[in-house]
A and B are shown apart, each in its own frame.
Chain A
């Protein structure tokens, strides 16, 4: 099972599922990170501690822990 954190820079993926707890899930959804959303990985901080992704027209910074909760598939 692939997760957002496993993706390489520049890769485009589709969200399958959010494994986050209630609060975080709400926040991710309000940022447009929800089932079927398309995400592109833009930048990665050293050792993938933090990543920058693009959802729609918005750029979002996520920490590795959070990116590990998002199940994705390559498109």
Chain B
């Protein structure tokens, strides 16, 4: 059908490649190594959850490579697997690259066999060749190509070997007519296939697909093929033949499930292939692999969880201690910048806009870059070493008590970085109920953008020695609240049976420095870019809203009073008072005053209320708003006071606790809410979440405030 389109000269050299394979075999990394893309790579199943197209040119060809979520089999198990299946069945593409983990050929070939039924041109990439060599596994790629009648190329995405050969092969296969892959079954199946093929031949059935393929699909009870033939006149005669055939095959396999019979067929074919092409250099049997040795420590029944908690604690400790050093530099830099730039601006309003609005707003956000970087490094290590799946294993029992699935851990941890990819990665959960439940809980995992608020407040109220512990406690209590919320939701809104937990545990891999560097760099740049664009705009908006309208009368009367004041302290006091009255009468002040009664029971003044409200746009705006609001109200004694000190002076401890609790729980930012709504599947879920998080945040903050007061702080 797309043959005639190809006469167009511009796309004549266009090759569209679909990258398919089981999870965690290195599909995304392979694309990164052939193009300049930086797709997300991680050492666990379910890193890629949506299709992504990457374009690049090679020789005279335009390539479009589509990275698809990994799939174990075409069984519609999870949403991401459905993405892959639907793409392969319904979209237009020229060729499939089936990526295979050379160190685990037998399991990977299961999917390959299923891919044959797509009747598309195909090339097999035997990835992880470097690992295979290290493990003493030798794959005879030429012989394998011959046996399957599909070119098999050894590559290593990590070492970038064999990539060029792979692309060249893709081009050659694309130019040549399609070859029928070889897949030989047991006698019973071959016999029945032959039966059906001869029947189709006899009736000259018109089809694009080969008869053998159709026969195979019919025997495997493929729904699409069934539906198609069901409306054909030959169906009446074909059906009894099929029933007989199925019976024969099931009898042969001693089962009543044709799919299971076929799984065994594939498995024995694959075993045959592996026996022919793989040579395992003899290693002494019964020796534990490195992964098994590490596992015996990291998922130890007793030490496993303490080790995990210790690592988390260490990460937050580092965030604080290590992050403090460059933070001082950044702080003085912005202080200097404010002075230097401020000195060149004569207009008072402009001066205030640039210094109090732009520079203190953006500065407040950029200040926390070191902390964010450390957090990102931690998450990148968790993702790329293989520890992620281990923690899911360790926590499954615990999570299960709260109605969550062990695999929920993966989206939840992603949520510590940013909620948006976390919502997406909830797709790895099979059951819609589990997935929705996880979506609701993700906002309890404090995202990276909330870290600045915590660091700011922890630093303001606690000594440096224990601030790291405070940070750890904040995160842990956020997660605990999330678990309790999960339990509540599971008992009310998401009642239902538990889903099975079956998860692959990848082998441990030492991540390359380059990979970590790229992951962290790109996330950090994104954070800085946001600070320079969105946050800068928001800070200026906040400045404007908090400076206007000017009350001329008031200004004049105060100017007079200030002039008449006798001592300098009196002058300062009057100036402060004027600034505060101005602030309270500004647009923002009015909004804040209007909503103050709602926040008063939580001990929050109107400035904090406004910061929280602004935080709905993006969480980074919380600190930048605090930065703008407090630097304005404090304009006179601007004696190099950092925001940290201003907060310590102006905010009572109990109010700070309540503020942190609200930040921990309340609505995720605007962008995340949109993704949430899309992933949950309807606007009504947004309102549920809005109500759920707001009420929870309010109640918890109220309790926290009053308990802290009762304790005498």
Contact = CB atoms under 8 A, between A and B. Distances in A.
Contact of A46 (B392, B397, B503): B397
B400 interface: yes
User: How many of chain A's residues touch chain B, expressed as a range?
Assistant: 35 or more
A2 interface: no
B505 A59 contact: yes
Contacts of A20: 500
Interface string A12-53: 000000101001111111111011100000111111011010
B264 A31 contact: no
User: How many of chain B's residues touch chain A, expressed as a range?
Assistant: 35 or more
A52 B500 contact: no
A23 B77 contact: yes
A63 B104 contact: no
A53 to B, nearest CB: 10
A30 B505 contact: no
Interface string B69-107: 000110101000000000000000000000000011011
Given A24-B502, A58-B104, A42 B292 contact: yes
Contacts of B292: 42, 54, 59
B502 A28 contact: yes
Contacts of B138: none
A46 B389 contact: no
A7 interface: no
Contacts, number: 120
Contacts of A63: 396, 400, 406, 500-502
B502 A61 contact: yes
B20 to A, nearest CB: 14
Contact of B103 (A26, A57, A60, A66): A57
A61 B302 contact: no
Given A30-B75, A58-B104, A61-B389, A45 B502 contact: no
A9 B302 CA distance: 15
Contact of B110 (A24, A30, A57, A62): A30
B106 A52 contact: no
B22 to A, nearest CB: 9
A42 B299 CA distance: 11
Contacts of A26: 73, 75, 77, 259
Contact of B501 (A36, A59, A62): A62
B336 to A, nearest CB: 53
A52 B299 contact: yes
A65 B259 CA distance: 23
Contact of A29 (B263, B300, B406): B263
B498 interface: yes
Given A35-B260, A43-B295, A63-B400, A50 B393 contact: yes
Nearest to A24: B500
A35 B500 CA distance: 19
B295 A34 contact: no
Contacts of A49: 396-397, 400
A45 B260 contact: no
Interface of B: 72-73, 75, 77, 103-104, 106-107, 110-111, 255, 257, 259-260, 263-264, 267, 291-292, 295-296, 299-302, 304, 389, 392-394, 396-397, 400, 406, 430, 498, 500-505, 507
